[in-house]
Amino acid sequence: MKTKNRPPRRRAPVQDTEATPGEGTPDGSLPNPGPEPAKGLRSRPARAAAGAPGEGRRRRPGPSGPAGRRDSSIQRRLESNERERQRMHKLNNAFQALREVIPHVRADKKLSKIETLTLAKNYIKSLTATILTMSSSRLPGLEGPGPKLYQHYQQQQQQVAGGALGATEAQPQGHLQRYSTQIHSFREGT
DNA sequence: TAGGCCATCTGGTCCT
DNA sequence: AGGACCAGATGGCCTA
pLDDT at A138: 57
Q: A95 or A54, which is more confident? A: A95
Helix axes A113-138, A172-188, angle to 10 degrees: 140
Mean pLDDT of A80-99: 87
Q: List, as own/partner pairs, every contact residues A61-69 make where C-beta atoms lie below 8 angstroms and the sequence separation is at least 24, other chains included.
A: A61/A17, A61/A27, A62/A15, A62/A16, A62/A17, A62/A18, A63/A15, A63/A16, A64/A15, A65/A15, A65/A17, A65/A27, A66/A27, A66/A28, A66/A29, A67/A26, A67/A27
Q: Output the distance from A69 CA to B1 C1' rounded to whole Å.
A: 39
pLDDT 10s digits, A20-71: 333 333 333 333 333 333 333 333 333 333 333 223 344 434 333 444 456 7
Query: Which of A25-39, A89-103, A104-118 has the highest average model confidence (pLDDT)?
Result: A89-103
Q: Are A33 and A64 in contact (CB under 8 A)?
A: no
Query: What average pLDDT does this structure show over A100-126?
Result: 83
Question: Other C-beta atoms within 10 Å of A55: how many?
Answer: 19
Give residue-wise pLDDT tens across range A135-183. Answer: 776 555 545 555 666 676 667 666 655 533 333 444 555 666 666 666 5
Question: How many Å from the CA of A147 to C1' of B10?
Answer: 53
Helix A146-161 vs helix A113-138: angle between axes, to the nearest 10 degrees? 150
Q: How far is the CA of A6 from the C1' of B16 (A)?
A: 17
Beta carbons within 8 Å of A128's beta carbon, 6+ residues apart: A153, A172, A175
Nearest residue to nucleotide C13, by CA–C1' distance, is: A47
Residue A68: the pLDDT is 45
Of chain A residues 55-94, which have a beta carbon within 7 Å of strand C?
57, 59, 76, 79-80, 83-84, 87
In this prediction, residue A78 has a pLDDT band, given cuts at 50, 70 and 90, of confident
